[in-house]
Structure formats: C-alpha cells, structure tokens
C-alpha cells in the first residue's frame, strides 16, 4: 500500500578510528540483504520499504554529529 508510511532500515557508513570499524556498514548491508531476500522470494509487504545509509553520524570528522539523519528529520538544512 503506497499510501502507508515506509519502513526504513539501515545505518551509517562512516567509521570511528577507535570504535566499531564496520558497525554502521553492517547495518546498511543487512538492510540490503533483507530487501534482496524479500525480492528473491516474491514477498510483497503491506508498506513500502526503504534502505537508509547516513553519513557523518559518528561525528569523528565533522561537527555537528548525525548530519545525514539530521537533514532527513529536519534538524539541519541540506545547505548546512
């Protein structure tokens, strides 16, 4: 039903030098695998599905943190 709110899955694609090197990327790949599996098995969902992959969520290089999801949620403008 395209009138329903989409269900999103995913994570961030940036890493932390001293933190989880692949934690965010794993979440993105897991969401892609779910999409692939549903597609391969011809499963239709009741709501649309979307894969999200955010950037600068960890804030290890740029401030403020959570910029990708912040733009999506309206906390920051795209120009910011």
What are the b/e assignments for 22-53, b being 16+ CB within 10 Å? eebbebbeebeeeeeeeeeeeeeeeeeeebbb
Q: Around Cβ 11, how many Cβ atoms within 10 Å? A: 20
Q: How far is residue 35's CA from residue 51's CA, in Å, rounded to a whole number?
A: 8
Please, what sign has the CA dihedral across residues 28, 77, 6, 50? negative
What confidence tens digit (pLDDT) does each residue in 13-53 have? 887 776 677 778 899 999 999 999 999 999 999 999 999 99
pLDDT at residue 19 in the model: 66
Q: Is the overall model pTM greater than 0.85, yes or no?
A: no
Rg for the chain, CA atoms, rounded: 15
pLDDT at residue 15 in the model: 77
Greater confidence (12 vs 23) lies with 12
């Amino acid at each position: 039903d395209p009138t329903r709110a989409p269900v999103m899955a995913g994570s961030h694609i940036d890493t932390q030098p001293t933190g989880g090197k692949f934690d965010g990327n794993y979440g993105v790949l897991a969401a892609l695998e779910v999409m692939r599996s549903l597609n391969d098995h011809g499963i239709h969902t009741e709501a649309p599905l979307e894969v999200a992959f955010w950037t600068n969520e960890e804030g290890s290089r740029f401030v403020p943190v959570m910029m990708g999801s912040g733009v999506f949620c309206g906390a920051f403008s795209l120009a910011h």
